[in-house]
């Protein structure tokens, strides 16, 4: 179980600002935030480029589906990843058609529902997107333009496909990314279906947390989805008797690694963070809102920073959120070591538009404030009456590609926070203003005391330039 002290503080921080979240999307947690606390059985963690994670982990899982696939991503673009998804759906349809043809009873093969949701496809798609929370449902005639197989191919295989998009002007993308297969296996990657060759990560899990993820999906993407599966056990047994599809073996990229985890029940939270229409935005940065929205994800991270005892380890694409910087400085002042690994010059225009600052400017400010903190401690180090805590150590690194190979990730897009090697946060949320204030996000928090499976470090250790490391 999560320590009760952590859950109590986190729940209290949400409840005390409940009035601010009444119109959040989603807001199913408001009546009882503790319901977000559950367990999962972690299966694996994979790191590598986005296309390698899809080819090595997500698409093979989709090929095993018998009843339902839910795939939600943020960006949707013509890419190797989209082509690989197209091929996977074609292969799945072909296999099912062959099974139907070999069976006298065509209805013996249960219908397979595939639900796809995304937020951003193009500039004009966002400009003309309906503002309704119902979003935009794509007709089958549009699937070819989306890079998906035609409706007749899928219907012949008893595959029921639906595609939907959600976006809210000016900046509110639906940033979560996840895949649910037959409501039994779930994956939360950091990567999109897009062309960027970025360093990404993905966690796979089973258990009760899958139901929590489905609850999030139902609250945002499909209010008609049933929490209880509507397929019967006999059909499940029939489906499982179908010979499995052997996935295509793909060569992993240079940064791809996978680690199997101990699948024992692990305390888990599935943490939503609602989109907001850029709350309290100011074009003069120092007049901007300092208090971030009290979403379950934001509240959990701030509480983890405030309660950290020894070490905070962060990997984030960008760092432009003032609330995060203030919290990290407070941790440093208490003697907690902080390591930040981020990307240089990633999506600069987006940083300037959504935060009126950049990661480098934010880091420069953080370093200046940290050095002022250490200088103040040094000047009082011999004051026996002060008895002040020595500040923790701050280290900051920028991602650097190891080679110029086409499959080498050019920036790091992984989102990871590890506190005291006890609390591991993964998911879609960056530590930038966009993620904390405007876009919808989703995180998974695992309570894993003594965590030693940070396989991203083996890859990143050879791909980091020092930005700041005191001697």
Task: Summarize pLDDT for 141-160 with one digit per residue, the tens.
Answer: 999 999 999 999 999 999 99
On whether the CB atoms of residues 430 and 351 are closer than 8 A, the answer is no
Give me the pLDDT at residue 283, please.
46
Mean pLDDT of all residues in 245-272: 83
On whether the CB atoms of residues 72 and 272 are closer than 8 A, the answer is no
The pTM of the whole model exceeds 0.95: no
On whether the CB atoms of residues 396 and 340 are closer than 8 A, the answer is yes
Identify the residue with better confidence: 19 or 336.
336
Give me the pLDDT at residue 349, please.
86
Domains of the chain, start order: 50-259 (3.30.870), 264-468 (3.30.870.10)
Mean pLDDT of all residues in 441-450: 98
Whether the pLDDT of residue 278 is over 90: the answer is no
Whether the pLDDT of residue 184 is over 50: the answer is yes
Mean pLDDT of all residues in 236-258: 64
CA distance 56 to 52: 6
Task: Summarize pLDDT for 376-416 with one digit per residue, the tens.
Answer: 998 887 665 556 789 999 999 999 999 889 999 999 999 99
CA distance 7 to 201: 26
Find the radius of gyration of the CA atoms of the chain: 23
């Amino acid at each position: 179980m999560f320590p009760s002290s952590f859950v109590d503080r986190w729940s209290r921080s949400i409840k005390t600002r409940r009035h601010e979240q009444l119109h959040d999307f989603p807001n199913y947690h408001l009546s009882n935030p503790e319901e977000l606390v559950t367990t999962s059985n972690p299966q694996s963690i994979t790191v590598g480029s986005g296309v390698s994670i899809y080819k090595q982990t997500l698409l093979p899982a989709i090929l095993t589906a018998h009843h339902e696939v839910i795939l939600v991503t943020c960006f949707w673009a013509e890419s190797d990843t989209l082509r690989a998804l197209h091929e996977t759906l074609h292969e799945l349809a072909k296999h099912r058609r062959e099974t139907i043809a070999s069976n006298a009873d065509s209805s013996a093969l249960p219908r397979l529902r595939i639900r796809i949701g995304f937020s951003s496809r193009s500039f004009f798609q966002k400009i003309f997107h309906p503002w309704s929370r119902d979003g935009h449902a794509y007709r089958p005639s549009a699937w070819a333009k989306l890079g998906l197989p035609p409706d007749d191919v899928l219907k012949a295989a008893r595959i029921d496909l639906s595609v939907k998009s959600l976006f809210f002007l000016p900046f509110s993308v639906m940033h979560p990314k996840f895949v649910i297969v037959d409501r039994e296996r779930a994956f939360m990657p950091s990567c999109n279906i897009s062309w960027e060759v970025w360093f990404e990560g993905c966690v796979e899990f089973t258990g009760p947390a899958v139901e929590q993820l489905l609850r999030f999906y139902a609250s945002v993407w499909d209010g008609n989805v049933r929490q209880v599966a509507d397929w019967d056990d006999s059909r499940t047994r029939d489906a499982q008797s179908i010979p499995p599809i052997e996935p295509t073996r793909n060569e992993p990229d240079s940064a791809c690694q996978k680690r199997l985890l101990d699948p024992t029940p692990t305390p888990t939270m599935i943490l939503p963070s609602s989109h907001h229409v850029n709350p309290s935005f100011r074009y003069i940065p120092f007049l901007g809102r300092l208090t971030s929205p009290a979403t379950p994800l934001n509240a959990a991270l701030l509480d983890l920073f405030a309660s950290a005892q020894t070490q905070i380890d962060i990997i984030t694409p960008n760092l432009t959120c003032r609330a995060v910087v203030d919290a990290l400085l407070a941790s440093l002042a208490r003697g907690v070591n902080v390591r930040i690994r981020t990307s240089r010059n990633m999506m600069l225009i987006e940083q300037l538009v959504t935060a009126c600052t950049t990661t480098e400017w934010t880091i420069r400010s953080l370093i200046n404030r940290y050095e002022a903190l250490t200088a103040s401690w040094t000047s009082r180090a011999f004051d026996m009456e002060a008895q002040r805590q020595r500040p923790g150590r701050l280290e900051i690194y920028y991602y650097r590609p190891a080679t110029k190979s086409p499959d080498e990730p050019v920036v790091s897009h992984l989102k990871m926070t590890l506190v005291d090697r006890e609390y591991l946060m993964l998911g879609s949320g960056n530590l930038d203003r966009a993620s904390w204030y405007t876009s919808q996000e989703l995180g998974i928090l695992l309570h894993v005391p003594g965590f030693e499976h940070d396989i991203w470090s083996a890859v990143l250790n050879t791909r980091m330039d020092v930005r700041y490391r005191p001697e």
